[in-house]
Structure 1
Amino acid sequence: MTFKMITGMAGIAADYDGYILDLWGVVHNGHHPYPGVLECMTKLREKDRPLILLSNAPRTNGFVITFLEKIGVGRECYDYILTSGDITREVLATRNHPYLKKSGNAFYQIGADRDKGLEDGLDYHRVYSVADADFLICTGLADDETETPENYRSLLLDALSRDLPMLCANPDLTVMRGNSSHYCAGAIAALYAELGGRVELFGKPYPEIYRQAMERLQISEPSRILAIGDSMRTDIKGATEMGMDCVLVSGGIHAEEWGLKDGQLPTAEQITSTARQHGFSPKYVTGHMVWQENAL
């Protein structure tokens, strides 16, 4: 498995016609953009090369746009944004899924109050007891500062006893917020599946979100798109399976695993070991997404 260590995007950007960027761990850390990332996004979009932000946020893109503006990532920094929440809402709207075709309209939501809006304007209603639900929507943990998936075991066992299917609007297991790791909806979905529950996940690394991203970029050939992400499990896996070249940003979700700080590059041995575990490799590895390439 071969890959190249780089310290900036300037040397490779012109090889592609458009870009897919992850948000958490690539553009921002949950509190503010990483140093140099906004300049890099501007440079990437020069010569009319489009850039789409692809996020496993369990909210529709309007909520994410508002959040990005609050932390200093303006609408002028990118062309499009697509979230796993958008994909989940589309499934709810069309009911084009086996879990919904014969289901009622009552759902029990596992997640924080901020994870709202997936059912807005649709013929569904939220209930606050698993006993009243026809299916589950998982958007995360109610309090990801203190809780773990184990806090939900009894609730999931109750749902399992009623054979309630789960739609998971964020496949991520964890996310970095600042310098700390927090569980995401995917971790609860994994526990439910382990218990025997029926689970469907939407977002990265699954093909539909990439197909829709390509439509928005108006690029039909995956090899002409460069995908930049911080998660081997979602970002790199999904893009690789679509036939896109990938940049793994080591300063995100894998930084703690590799003992890295402030966008340090991992060793070649660390990347090789991780790539072997996953069965695929990024084409490039960088510390943080910046433009100017410096000597290694």
Structure 2
Amino acid sequence: MSFKIISGLSGIAPNYDAFILDLWGVVHNGHHPYPGVLDCMDRLRESEKPIILLSNAPRTNGYVVNFLESMGVARGRYDQILTSGDITREVLVSREHPFLKGAVKAFYQIGADRDKGLDDGLDYQKVFSIEEASFLICTGLVDDQTETPEDYRELLQDALKRDLPMLCANPDLTVMRGTTIHYCAGAIAALYEEIGGRVELFGKPYPEVYRQVMTKLNIQDPSRILAIGDSMRTDIKGANANGIDSVLVSGGIHAEEWGLKDGQLPTATQIEKVVEQHLFSPTYVIGHMVW
């Protein structure tokens, strides 16, 4: 086996100088923190090693701070937050991306009202019809409790006819909210690519977000960092590609496919099948992020 199943972080945390924590599926389930998570974060803080929260949230970090505080994750439990929304905003600010060259200013946003901060104070115009747009920003589904990506096929086909490129501010395909899986922006982006649309995705597992993480942590050797996440496709893939050891939390997005409840651990055989499917492996596997 290329991974080790562990019951808590206490035995491995001393081996690292900094920690990257995913949010949805690791720290919280969209409603409240998982049992034992806040204690675990406090134990990590006792070591005085930096903790950065790295999220594919399609909004800027200030909104995420407020959301975390509303569920009891105090600002003092971590050092910094970096989101895919932050990366997307930087692209909008710089205007250096090929999708934004020329006089491109008007965008059509696919997503819920809660997805805020990307264009705050910038010289862009949010329009409400495909006909007026120069490009798309996808932050998710308008109503992810009832909709699926197929509900957006007709709109995407209209956008494709106008050759509108898409900036996707959340590469995740799905997310756990409570005990239910909901579609994310990445699923809409995947459909747009499938029908021929041009798409650029920002966040995990793409290189820029990890370049910024290394800078913020002020650590040059990636082997001194431990990344904790619940998604093979984003968290573990991104960590592997950047030489960072990783912990896969089985109680997150993969729990349903493994038939797990309340932070149960999968069997080694179940993990091996996922490893074979993705062609890369986590360093460790844990039920929930506990000490």
Quickly name the TM-score band, shorter chain normalised.
Answer: over 0.9
Q: Which amino acid aligns with 2:196?
A: G
> Which SS does the other structure have where 2:69 is aligned?
helix
Question: Residue type matched to 2:3 in 1?
Answer: F
Shift of 1:214: 1.2
- Map 1:277-292 → 2, pairs under 5 A: 277-291=277-291
Q: Are positions 1:125 and 2:125 aligned together?
A: yes
Displacement of 1:3 after TM fit? 0.6
Structure 1 match to 2:90? 90
Which whole-Å CA distance do the structure 1 matches of 2:47 and 2:171 have between them? 34
- Give the aligned partner of residue 183 of structure 2: 183
- Superposition map of 1:179-258 within 5 A: 179-258=179-258
* Distance in 1, Cα, partners of 2:164 & 2:66: 33
Separation (CA, whole Å) in 2 of partners of 1:269 and 1:47: 34
| Partners of 2:116 and 2:149 in 1: CA distance | 20
2:155 corresponds to which residue? 155
Quick check: 1:103–1:135 contact (8 Å CA) kept in 2?
no
2:10 is the alignment partner of 1:10:
yes
Instruction: Name stretches of at least 5 consecutive residues in structure 2 with no aligned partner.
Output: none
Query: What code does the residue aligned with 1:69 have?
Result: E
**Secondary structure of 1:85's aligned partner:** helix
Report the AA paired with residue 188 of structure 1. I
- Report the counterpart of residue 294 of structure 1 in structure 2: none
Q: Is 2:28 aligned against 1:28?
A: yes
Q: Which runs of 5+ in 1 are unaligned?
A: 292-296
Letter in 1 for 2:216: R
Q: Displacement, 1:103? A: 4.7
Is 1:172 the counterpart of 2:167 in the alignment?
no
Q: 2:41 is matched with which residue?
A: 41
8 Å contact from structure 1 (residues 108, 128) kept in 2: yes
Q: Secondary structure at the match of 1:119?
A: coil
How far apart are residue 48 of structure 1 and its match?
1.8
Distance 2:47 2:128 in 1: 51
Q: State the distance in 2 between where 1:174 and 1:194 align.
A: 17
What secondary structure sits across from 2:211 in the alignment?
helix
Q: TM-score, normalised by structure 2?
A: 0.99
CA distance in 2, matches of 1:275, 1:103: 45
1:111 and 1:140 in contact (8 A); partners too:
yes
Provide the residue aligned with 1:113 in structure 2.
113
Counterparts of 2:197 and 2:166 in 1: how far apart (Å)?
8
Q: CA RMSD in A?
A: 0.7
- Tell me, in whole angstroms, the C-alpha distance in 2 between the residues paired with 1:9 and 1:22: 15
One-letter code of the match for 2:21? L
Q: CA deviation at 1:43?
A: 1.1
Output the CA distance in 2 between the equivalents of 1:289 and 1:92: 34
Q: CA deviation at 1:102?
A: 2.6
Identity %: 75
Q: What is residue 276 of structure 2 aligned with on the other side?
A: 276
Structure 1: which amino acid aligns with 2:136? L
TM-score w.r.t. the length of structure 1 is 0.97
The DSSP-based 3-state class of the residue aligned with 1:91 is helix
Tell me the SS of whatever aligns to 2:47: helix
Q: CA deviation at 1:208?
A: 0.6
Counterpart in 2 of 1:66? 66
